[in-house]
Amino acid sequence: NAGVTQTPKFQVLKTGQSMTLQCAQDMNHNSMYWYRQDPGMGLRLIYYSASEGTTDKGEVPNGYNVSRLNKREFSLRLESAAPSQTSVYFCASTPTGYEQYFGPGTRLTVT
Amino acid sequence: SQELEQSPQSLIVQEGKNLTINCTSSKTLYGLYWYKQKYGEGLIFLMMLQKGGEEKSHEKITAKLDEKKQQSSLHITASQPSHAGIYLCGAQLSGSARQLTFGSGTQLTVLP
């Protein structure tokens, strides 16, 4: 039972490049989330998916898109990366309540 | 998030000492979650509090939610190096269905 997995673990992009962060969970959870973590700012919600087929914006959605491919997978796409998107990205999932299970994170640097 | 204030931002204690981390909101907390994060890793769920006055303990860590449900504290007794990490509180605030708002975290260092 792997829980929540994220790929890649590390990534360096140049400004303007695009990439997709992958997240998968094997716990049959309905809801999935993408957060970014920046020093002194805690975790901020980018997008979430309450259930398969639905996605909603969080606190900081600008510059990102998401896809809930199926119940297991929730991807985050940066179409044109900017230095302000340098951060650590976490994916999380929850069955129906609010206790969230987190992946190990992706460290993204945009130069 | 300014909706959830966490203090202190960092804490350095000697092994064996007790410590407290606070999480305060101006809004009613409908659920309060404590997480621990080690460097380079994801968040690990510690405890959840929902009722005013509720208190939960796990090993040497105790979390409380005040009666007004606007403040929570995390207390570690006889700290050990294994307690080191970043502690974050996450809360369900009124009007934020299915979303958690997180505090900025407390960096805990335990000196052997």
Q: How far is CA A100 from the centre of its chain?
A: 13
Q: Can you give the pLDDT at residue B26?
A: 85
| pLDDT tens by residue, A12-33 | 999 999 999 999 999 999 999 9
Q: Say whether B111 sits in a helix, a strand or coil.
A: strand
Q: In tens digits, what is the pLDDT along chain B, a chain of 112 residues?
A: 578 899 999 999 999 999 999 999 988 888 899 999 987 788 999 999 988 899 999 889 999 999 888 999 999 999 999 999 999 999 988 655 567 889 999 999 999 9
- How does DSSP classify residue B53? T
Contact A34, A74 (CB under 8 A): yes
Contact A21, A110 (CB under 8 A): no
B98–A99 CB contact, under 8 Å:
no
Of B42, B103, B104, the CB nearest to A105: B42
Interface with B, mutate which of A43, A59, A60 (most B CBs under 10 A): A43
CB within 8 Å of chain B, chain A residues 56-95: 58-59, 90, 92
Quote the CA–CA distance of A69 and B78 in Å, as a whole number: 46
CA distance A15 to chain B (A): 24
Closest of B77, B1, B10 to residue A60, by C-alpha: B1
Of A36-40, A65-69, A79-83, B13-17, the poorest mean pLDDT is in: A36-40
pLDDT higher than threshold 80 for residue A1: no
- How does DSSP classify residue A46? E
| pLDDT tens by residue, A54-65 | 999 998 999 999
Q: Can you give the pLDDT at residue B95?
A: 57
pLDDT higher than threshold 70 for residue A36: yes
Contact B3, A43 (CB under 8 A): no
Angle at B52 (CA atoms; ends A97, B54), nearest 5 degrees: 80
% of residues, chain A, pLDDT over 90: 82
Closest of A97, A49, A46 to residue B45, by C-alpha: A97
Going by C-beta distance under 8 Å and a sequence separation of 6 or more, which residues neighbour residue A88? A36, A37, A38, A105, A106, A107, A108
Inform me whether the C-beta atom of residue B9 falls under 8 Å from chain A C-beta atoms: yes
Q: Can you give the pLDDT at residue A25?
A: 96
